[in-house]
Amino acid sequence: MIKRTLFFGNPAYLSTKNEQLVVNFPEEDRAPATVPIEDLGYIVLEDPQITVTNGLLMKLVQNKTAVITCDRQHLPCSFLQPLTGHSEQTERMRHQLNASVPLKKNLWQQTVVAKIQNQAAHLAVRGQYAKKLQRWAGEVKSGDTENHEAIAAAHYFQSLFADITAFSRNQKGVAPNNLLNYGYAILRAVTARALVSSGMLPSVGIFHSNKYNAFCLADDVMEPYRPYVDILVRELVDQGEYMELNTEIKSALLGIPAMDVNIDGKKSPLMVAMSRTTHSLYDCFAGISRKILYPEL
């Protein structure tokens, strides 16, 4: 089942009654709105004057609904996750923490290969030169010791947005970096939610290891999914809508969890595919499998 994403950009009072999320609008003459909590996958809270009751937060967490809050720049900055995401969480975390260095290097190699292949496929679909990326994908070694991931990313973004003057991939760079930042933040929340539901720690990565980063594993696993965000952002750029991160653009980017992706030969919503990816990752940690299941563009 595809879960719904709700975005709140105006002052609101959020509470719960009869297993429903109840929305009251204090500054508007509108009747309260209700949504079944079981239908919710993600809630994005942008306006600083939003009030959420503890009773609602409890039910959202129990439903594994991702509650995402935004900063003053309107970018997602935090993610509420449950303390218990899976019935076998202790054992699953133990397998994750005990993963050997050679295994983690192999998993990172698979991740980088999948990411570069998807980047190449995106350029190819657009009729752009992709042979360099295709070659680099085949040259990635265990642990990506030659840093093909960064080399490929620089070439990919230079090609993808070659028509935009002074563009380089930088969080504080010129548009459409603002759209990419927002889209990747949503993707990160989708990934963290799936990891928690699979009983793993989003903060303990296979490659990323910054001690100040609470989402290292999420940042690892989301890499091959990034080109799906790029596809959506490139479409917005082609439409001439990318200079300002307005409500319409945010609405389009909040559709990322429901995007169709191809995984294991089948079409699936991105959020469902991500759960399959994180489940396959646990199987690798547990010694059941040696391959992570990633989508293919």
Annotated binding site: 149, 208, 223
Distances in Å between the alpha carbon of 147 and those of 98, 108, 253?
Answer: 25, 11, 29
End-to-end CA distance of the chain: 22
Please tell me whether residue 111 adopts helix, strand or coil conformation: helix
Of 233, 244, 287, the closest CA to residue 94 belongs to 287
Residue 295's closest CA among 236, 233, 223, 231?
223
The three-class DSSP label of residue 52 is strand
Q: Which amino acid is at 188?
A: R
For residue 201, the SS3 value is coil
Q: How far apart are CA 152 and CA 83, in angstroms?
A: 37
- Residues flagged as binding site for Mn(2+): 149, 208, 223
Write b or e for each residue in 87-98: b if 16 or more Cβ atoms lie within 10 A of its Cβ, otherwise e.
eebeebbebbee
Say how far apart CA 165 and CA 163 lie, in whole Å: 6
Closest CA to 119 of 260, 261, 230, 227: 227
